[in-house]
Structure 1
């Protein structure tokens, strides 16, 4: 999300300065690579790069090809094959043992639904969408349609398909991705052979921090680096001030019983209770439990949280395992944290793991890091005679 925002900002600056731009997108990966499909980089004619498509290995070559794309005003599909152990012959030294397909397309400012405009449409509303990018791998000299369409949950379409023949199947697959949450790559055989990257794009993570103490400052700083939307809530007006939290989108001073009047909670919201005020945290937690956010972290020892839950039970409040499933206390992963900065890191790491449905296991114990689904082929239906 942060990368996409940075790309949009860089494009606006380039457009203001009259510079041509091109967008490089990783559209398909076979085997291992540093970045997955959906990684993007904006390239300006004067060589400025925003975003990344690799760990730095491909950017130089992509810049050269992007300048050609801008000069010819024609998209290009570039393939980097590093399955050979001696990948130094490619001049990029990837060492990833994978095949990376990158689409480089010029961004035409006069085009109503150019990729940047589609990004802006997505960023303007807090809802998941599907972004569709079409290309062809069997004939790289053929036309590469590129980033062409945005679809939301209400089936509203921004942009259009270059080939109306595939519209029905493609829209059906796009809605399936939107409902089930997994990006896919499919090839459609309808006269021309198009491969389609159907990408689920999620809104930024919304982090709500209850507590404006000094230990909240590093939490805000780390979340800001990730591009999360940050909200600070506290009952103390002398603590909850912009000077202490310049990266926060909103700072709210509220009594505990009124906090839900000021925040919106959705499936991309994570919450941490760290006011160090037992009564405040208890009151807020009681209101949050029925809403079942993706993550509720509670700072402090486990016995403190258990005391709160015991009081809920004594007062007839529901504390079923289902309601407590996403409550994490003490908050954070076990990384040996001691000071506020380290504790903030462990909390953010746990939030990320929960959002991605991961356990926080060291990668050294995993045989597969990213589960890449095989490409699917959709055949053109037979016509009845």
Structure 2
């Protein structure tokens, strides 16, 4: 998850500035089932501080213990964790634990992530436990290699490779500034989404009103029409003003986000579309078909926080291409 690696890298930069030595643990392979899948990471400082997690909590202490030799020797290693004989996970995890060198290139990587540029991370590993100088990882962005370890170069001796692609940070644009927008903003930011509040110029709100918001923009409808939205974006209209929502729809008529939600009942949605088509009669059905209204899945939600959960759940189901249903009704593994 891009927001997780962003938090980890920002923490690495901060801890390095405090003079701490760092180790990175990455789940590179899995046999059976586990709480988290390959690609999750945990940063460890020589002060025994940890950022991130590689499981639901059953593995981290052992990873911390195994990391001590990496701090003392500076040599990467593979550790395995067999959860079949312990409480918690029921699979075998293989983790690459390696020294984390903070270089000037890390700032370039962070800038690229914040600029919504996708990147990859490649880890070279084996399934044999123990130390091995040929083990290691590197980030790849625009064909530039940024090794995790200082001066690391992949070895031809390593046959196994785990590669992970990190898409641009997922972002949510909330059109509205009332109390339910505050609830949705807070919950979405806790998901790691980059949340932007769009308010009309006549709405006297500051970003302090929206905990977790990345930015607050007061835009005219004309400015919204010229604003750029990419496909890794969700939009929710929740201004509680019928006229504003109509104008927002008009301004966003050419936008194709991955999710476009309309707060309010079905009757209001039909009224919005009817009024919208008076101004945009040439609009194709493709635009109308992408509208999710009423926004959210049926959870019986009533208050602002419950409705926010419902909307976030629907956004997740759309972005992950999943039909919401109880997991107990699912046949087979949770993650295919």
TM-score with structure 2 setting the length? 0.90
1:276 to 1:105, Cα distance in 2 relative to 1, 3 A: same
CA distance in 1, matches of 2:329, 2:62: 34
Residue 202 of structure 1 corresponds to 167
Residue 175 of structure 1 corresponds to none
**Does residue 286 of structure 1 match 2:286?**
no
Residue 162 of structure 1 corresponds to 153
Q: Please, what is the CA RMSD of the aligned residues?
A: 2.3
Return the match for 1:134 from 124, 130, 138: 124
CA distance in 2, matches of 1:197, 1:318: 48
Residue 300 of structure 1 corresponds to 264
Equivalences, count: 330
1:130 and 1:200 in contact (8 A); partners too: yes
Point out 4+ residue stretches in structure 1 off by more than 6 angstroms.
Answer: none
Q: Secondary structure at the match of 1:231?
A: strand
CA distance in 2, matches of 1:163, 1:13: 27
Residue 181 of structure 2 corresponds to 216
In the alignment, structure 1 segments of 5+ residues that lack a partner are 165-190, 372-385
Residue 226 of structure 1 corresponds to 191
Residue 101 of structure 2 corresponds to 108
The worse-fitting range, judged by mean Cα deviation, of 329-338 and 311-320 is 311-320
> 1:281 Cα shift?
0.9
CA distance in 2, matches of 1:122, 1:38: 20
CA distance in 2, matches of 1:143, 1:50: 24
Q: Secondary structure at the match of 2:179?
A: coil
1:163 to 1:65, Cα distance in 2 relative to 1, 3 A: closer
CA distance in 2, matches of 1:108, 1:216: 40
1:145 and 1:162 in contact (8 A); partners too: no
Residue 291 of structure 2 corresponds to 327
Q: Deviations over 1:172-195 (max 9, x none)?
A: xxxxxxxxxxxxxxxxxxx62421
Q: Secondary structure at the match of 1:192?
A: coil
Q: Secondary structure at the match of 1:281?
A: helix
1:52 and 1:59 in contact (8 A); partners too: yes
1:260 to 1:230, Cα distance in 2 relative to 1, 3 A: farther
1:1-385 to structure 2, matched below 5 A, reads: 1-82=2-83, 84=84, 87-88=85-86, 93-94=87-88, 96-109=89-102, 120=110, 122-138=112-128, 140-152=130-142, 156-159=143-146, 162-163=153-154, 192-261=157-226, 263-315=227-279, 317-366=281-330, 367-371=332-336
1:144 to 1:239, Cα distance in 2 relative to 1, 3 A: farther
CA distance in 1, matches of 2:300, 2:49: 40
1:255 to 1:120, Cα distance in 2 relative to 1, 3 A: closer
1:281 to 1:257, Cα distance in 2 relative to 1, 3 A: farther
Q: Secondary structure at the match of 1:291?
A: coil
> 1:138 Cα shift?
4.9
1:255 to 1:315, Cα distance in 2 relative to 1, 3 A: closer
The worse-fitting range, judged by mean Cα deviation, of 51-60 and 314-323 is 314-323
1:136 and 1:142 in contact (8 A); partners too: no
CA distance in 1, matches of 2:297, 2:183: 16
1:369 to 1:289, Cα distance in 2 relative to 1, 3 A: farther
TM-score with structure 1 setting the length? 0.79
> 1:330 Cα shift?
0.3
